[in-house]
Every structure is written in structure tokens, then in C-alpha cells.
Amino acid sequence: MIKLAWAVVAEHMDGWTGSDVEQGAAVIEDRVGALVDASGMQPEAIRHWRTDFLGPVVESLRAEGAAALARGESWSKAAGPFLACASPSMEHPSTS
């Protein structure tokens, strides 16, 4: 099991627990993407946010994060106002 947590500074915090890094990355992309899409930002700003903040963090989770978790270590990455972290967990998967 892994536990993911993420925050968009001064806006939103969320988390997810599950067994698969790829699924966790997809959850982050979906939830943070929906938050950004609903933010009221102009389309160009949304693209910028996804490209410069969300994308690098999610790709790091898929690469460096997956490797760290496989070794039983924690991982974290920040880009601009977006921070995500993951750690091994004994919790049961979340249903949300």
C-alpha cells in the first residue's frame, strides 16, 4: 500500500491510499486537474499550470516516486504552488 497526499498552496489538500503508483498518479491528475479547470483561470493559464506544475510532479511520481516506494522509502516533489508526497502505508485503500 502507498499513501499519497498533495496540496495546492492556499487552495486545496487531498489524499489517496492504494496499492498502485500508476493509479495514484491518475487520481492526482484527475483531482488536481479538475480543481485547476474549475479555478476560473484563462485557458492559457490552465495549460501553463498543467504543463509547468502538475505534469512534472506526476511524472516524478511515476519514475522517482515508484522507485523510492519500491525500496520502502518516501518520495516528495514540488513545482510552484503544487506539492505531492508518497509513503509506504499499512492503511486500507480509500474508496473515494
69 assigned to some structural domain: yes
Q: Which domain holds residue 54?
A: 2-88
Note the pLDDT of residue 12. Answer: 86
Q: For the residues 65-76, what does the mean pLDDT come to? A: 96
96 assigned to some structural domain: no
Note the pLDDT of residue 47. Answer: 96
31 assigned to some structural domain: yes
Q: What is the mean pLDDT of the chain?
A: 92
50 assigned to some structural domain: yes
Q: How many domains does the chain have?
A: 1
13 assigned to some structural domain: yes
Note the pLDDT of residue 89. Answer: 84
94 assigned to some structural domain: no
Cβ-based neighbours of 74, under 8 Å, separated by 6 or more = 68, 85, 86, 87, 88
- 94 has pLDDT over 60: no
- Give the residue ranges of DSSP H helices in the chain: 21-37, 43-49, 55-60, 66-70
- 14 has pLDDT over 90: yes
Q: What's the predicted TM-score (pTM) here? A: 0.86
Contact 3, 15 (CB under 8 A): yes
Residue 91's pLDDT band, with cuts at 50, 70 and 90, is low
